[in-house]
Amino acid sequence: MAEYRMNAPLSDADAEKLRCGDVVFLSGVIYTARDAAHKRLMDLLDQNMELPFDLKGAVIYYVGPSPAPEGRPIGSAGPTTSYRMDSYAPRLHGLGVKASIGKGRRNAEVINALKKFGGVYFGATGGAGALLSMRIAEARVIAFEDLGTEAIRELKVSEFPLLVINDSQGGDLYVTPDRKAVGLE
């Protein structure tokens, strides 16, 4: 398990060298999107319309931040549960997205898309919203402002702490529960 400092957007080479269990401190530009924003991105794609950000190498952070207090760019900003974006993620990976950041398990389609398109799924610590907020230097709403917390924001992050959960080789870091130990199997 290695430790890397990387910059977003991610290059193909960066994404492909990562293995599950690696720690990554990510700097650069990433984009927020959760349930409602993903739905709108799909609508734009269906209508062949331009998207609010360049998908090439993009890192999408599944987060709905709390409102920014006076003097800070953003409020608390930890990950939301990722499975709700599973139905959208493969299409976005096919169009150039290199990574998503969230918490919790992905389904087989997402894991296959990571293999097929050379992407990764990063975990950030759920519920550590104040801690993660400290690594966000700038935040700007770039689309769907009416969605409030669910709007798409461009974030400038600095050494944002991540763990590779799923890599481009099909690896999965999450533990399989020991059902045998408690007589469930």
Binding residues (CB under 8 A) for other proteins: these are 35-36, 63-69, 72, 75-78, 80-81, 83, 103-105, 123, 125-131, 133-134, 147-149, 161, 163, 173-175, 177-179, 181-184
Q: Tokens 């400092």 appear where?
A: 5
Pick one of 127, 145, 169, 174: the residue that binds ligand SF4 (CB under 6 A): 127
Min dist CB 96 to other proteins, Å, is 27
Q: Which two tokens stand for residue 133?
A: 């907020």
Cα of first residue to Cα of last residue in the chain, in angstroms, is 32
**Rounded to an integer, what distance in angstroms lies between the CA atom of residue 32 and that of residue 60?**
6
Considering beta carbons, is residue 58 or 77 the nearer one to other proteins? Answer: 77
The SS3 call for residue 133 is helix
**Rounded to an integer, what distance in angstroms lies between the CA atom of residue 10 and that of residue 42?**
22
Using CB under 6 A as the binding rule, whether residue 126 contacts ligand SF4 is answered as yes
Q: Give which of ligand SF4, other proteins, none residue 90 binds (C-beta under 5 to 8 Å, depending on kind).
A: none
Considering beta carbons, is residue 143 or 165 the nearer one to ligand SF4? Answer: 165
Q: Calculate the alpha carbon distances from 113 to 9, 90, 97, 132, 135 in Å.
A: 18, 5, 11, 27, 29
Min dist CB 56 to other proteins, Å, is 28
Pick the catalytic residue: 18, 24, 30, 38?
38
Using CB under 6 A as the binding rule, whether residue 75 contacts ligand SF4 is answered as no
Active site residue 93: no
Min dist CB 115 to other proteins, Å, is 21
Min dist CB 103 to other proteins, Å, is 7
Q: Give which of ligand SF4, other proteins, none residue 114 binds (C-beta under 5 to 8 Å, depending on kind).
A: none
Q: Calculate the alpha carbon distances from 125 to 16, 45, 69, 99, 131 in Å.
A: 23, 31, 22, 16, 9
Q: Which of 36, 50, 66 is nearest to 139 (CA)?
A: 66
- Residues facing 34 on adjacent strands: none
By rule CB under 6 A, what count of residues binds ligand SF4?
3
Residues annotated as part of the active site = 38
Contacts with ligand SF4, residue ranges (CB under 6 A): 78, 126-127
